[in-house]
Each structure stands twice: as C-alpha cells, then as structure tokens.
Structure 1
Amino acid sequence: MPPEQPQWVQNRRRALGRRIRDLRVQQGHTQEAVVEMTDIDRRTFQRIEAGTSDPRYGDLLLIADAIGVPLAELVR
C-alpha cells in the first residue's frame, strides 16, 4: 500500500477485501475457482482479498459476476 494514502483509505481497502472473501466463501467458491473464472492473476486476487492492493474497476466487475452478486453488494 502506498504510504501517502490516509489510514481511512487503507481501512476501507481491507474492509472491501474482507467483504469479497466473505461473499466468495458464502457462495462456496475457492480463490482458485474465482481466479479461473475471472482470469485475474492469482497473486493479484490474493492481494485484493488481503486489502493490500487497489482493485481495478474491471476486476471488481469480474469478481462480482464470478461470485454471483451485484457490484453494489460487493462494494457496499
């Protein structure tokens, strides 16, 4: 994470990662399955879920579609 970003941004990024992980698990998907469905690099997806990477908008759309939830539910 870039050090110049405020703490609240880092906190929200981690919260988004937890939300993605929780929804993925609720839907019964493994990380590997989502990576395969989205063609997102495995390490990138791990970083998104860990909250250490800023996900691209397109990646969020792919993740939401793969786990079967609307984008709005993913990022709420």
Structure 2
Amino acid sequence: MPRDLPEWINDRRRDLGDRVRDLRIRADYTQEHFAEITGIDRRTLQRIECGESDPRYGHLLRIAAALDVRVSVLVD
C-alpha cells in the first residue's frame, strides 16, 4: 500500500475504522468474535479499525451484515 497518499484519504480511512470499531463495540463483539462471525482475519480487522488498510468491498459487505447496517453507514 503506497504511503504517499493524500492526507484526506488517510483521514477517511481513520473515519471508517472508527465507525467500524464503535459499531463493533456497541454490538458487544470482541475483535476475535467479530473475526469469527465475519470470516475476516482478526489482524485484517485490526488494520481496518486502525485506518491502516483499505478494506475490500467484500469485507465491507461482511462487516455491514454482521453489524446489521448498510455499507453506506460505514463509508459515509
């Protein structure tokens, strides 16, 4: 992943990660349990929540389904 991305992209990644983390915690899921129910590796989820990676669309769909929200709630 390129490190020379514009700051606004990094800001959006962090916003997405914060939303995922907040919704996961509100749903009372640990990262480990959330990884199990989404089928996404825990380290991948951790990187998404920290704003360190761009999640695949399929991951966003799984995360949204597990949290019972629309993908737009995560990326808005």
Global fold match (TM > 0.5)? yes
CA RMSD of aligned residues (A): 1.1
Instruction: Give the letter for the 1:30 counterpart.
Output: T
The C-alpha deviation readout for 1:29-66, integer Å capped at 9, x for no partner, is: 11111100111111111000000011001000000111
CA distance in 2 between partners of 1:33 and 1:75 (Å): 22
Which consecutive aligned stretches of 4+ in structure 1 deviate over 2 angstroms post-superposition?
A: none
Unaligned runs of 5+ in 2: none
Q: TM-score, normalised by structure 2?
A: 0.91
Instruction: Give the letter for the 1:58 counterpart.
Output: G
Q: Report the counterpart of residue 5 of structure 2 in structure 1.
A: 5
Deviation at 1:74? 1.7
The count of corresponding residues between Structure 1 and Structure 2 is: 76
Identity %: 57
Q: Report the counterpart of residue 37 of structure 2 in structure 1.
A: 37
